[in-house]
Amino acid sequence: MKALRFHGQKDIRLDSIPTPELTPGSVKILPKFCGICGTDLHEYLEGANLIPKPQHPHPITKETYPLTIGHEFSGIVEEVASDVTNFQKGDRVCVQPIIYDGDCRSCARGLHNCCDKNGFIGLSGWGGGLAEISVVPQSCVKKLPDNVSLEVGALVEPLAVGWHAVDISPYQNSDAALVLGGGPIGLAVVQVLAGRGCQNIIVSEVSSKRREFAKHFGAHHVIDPVAEDIVQRVLELTGGLGADVGFDAAGAQVALDTAFLALKARGTLVNIAVWDKQAKLLMNELVFRERRYMGVATYSLGDFEAVIEAISAGKIVPAGMITKTIALNEVEAEGFRTLIEDKENHVKILVDVGKGLS
Domain with CATH 3.90.180.10 in the chain: 2-155+318-352
Return mean pLDDT, the chain.
95
Q: How far apart are CA 19 and CA 202, in angstroms?
A: 47
* Mean pLDDT score, 181-185: 94
Domain with CATH 3.40.50.720 in the chain: 159-295
Residue 140 sits at the vertex; the CA angle it makes with 134 and 145, to the nearest 5 degrees, is 95
Give the pTM: 0.95
The H or E element containing residue 12 is strand 11-16
pLDDT score, position 356: 78
The H or E element containing residue 268 is strand 263-271
Q: Is the pLDDT confidence value at 341 over 80?
A: yes
What CATH topology corresponds to 2-155+318-352? Answer: Quinone Oxidoreductase; Chain A, domain 1 (3.90.180)
What CATH topology corresponds to 159-295? Answer: Rossmann fold (3.40.50)
Contact of 136 with 142, CB cutoff 8 Å: no
Contact of 218 with 310, CB cutoff 8 Å: no
Q: Which percentage of the chain shows pLDDT scores above 90? A: 91
How many beta carbons lie within 10 A of that of residue 320, not counting itself? 13
Contact of 64 with 54, CB cutoff 8 Å: yes
Q: Is the pLDDT confidence value at 249 over 90?
A: yes
Q: How far is CA 355 from CA 75, 90, 121, 136, 319, in A?
A: 14, 20, 22, 22, 20
Contact of 219 with 179, CB cutoff 8 Å: yes
Amino acid in position 298:
T
* Mean pLDDT score, 157-162: 97
pLDDT score, position 357: 79
Cα 203 vs. chain centroid, distance in angstroms? 18
pLDDT score, position 235: 97
Q: Is the pLDDT confidence value at 358 over 70?
A: no
